[in-house]
Amino acid sequence: MKISEHQLPTIIEKLEKKEAILPTYDAVLIDEGQDFEADWLRLVSLLINEQTQSLLLVEDRAQTIYNRKRSYLQDTGLSFQGRSKVLSINYRNTHQIVTFAWNFYKKHSLLKNKVVKREIEGEIIAPQSTKRRGPEPGIIKAKNFFEEMRLVARQAKKLNEDTQYLDEVVEERKQQNDRIEKAN
């Protein structure tokens, strides 16, 4: 079933009044949840089996592209209190990249005073890094956009030709998959 954006308020209202029947789901996983509209979350919450109320919502508010403020209880009717967890370990990047990016952020961000240890939702959380190591990152200044693109293309080509780098990436992905399989 396809539902267009303009139909959402009407469908949500009908579902809430029990005037419409749509399939329900025992469990739902939403990735990139920070970019979901409130109506999207409300619709999904209405389609979750009332007995399981199993919704796994994964988000990174530091990656939001729409700058949305939200209350999940208000948006979905579901309470995540006592059922939420902040994941702060970065498995995607090397220690060097996380450290470089965090130091850059602390020095240049207008929000640097919002940094917290690990408690408050909506604040900037200091990252933890993995033990994975790599080369030190750096900043290369370009004179203009076209020179920047030329430098990026040259670096991408160089990394693509470096089979040791690609072997390390493949091995890291295998190790991540093994950890995930063991956890399940």
Specify which residues 56 forms β-bridges with: 29
Residue 74 has pLDDT above 80, yes or no: no
End-to-end CA distance of the chain: 32
Q: Does pTM top 0.85 for this prediction? A: no
Amino acid present at 89: I
Q: What's the CA gap between 164 and 160, in Å, rounded?
A: 10
* Confidence band of 89 (pLDDT split at 50, 70, 90): confident
Which residues in 90-106 are b (16+ Cβ under 10 Å) and which e?
beebbeebbebebeebe
pLDDT at 27: 92
Residue 143 has pLDDT above 90, yes or no: yes
* Confidence band of 115 (pLDDT split at 50, 70, 90): low
DSSP letter (8 states) at residue 141: -
Residue 121 has pLDDT above 50, yes or no: no
* Confidence band of 144 (pLDDT split at 50, 70, 90): very high
pLDDT at 70: 66
pLDDT at 26: 94
Least confident of 93-97, 122-126, 151-155: 122-126
DSSP letter string over 59-81?
Answer: --GGG-SS-----HHHHHS---T
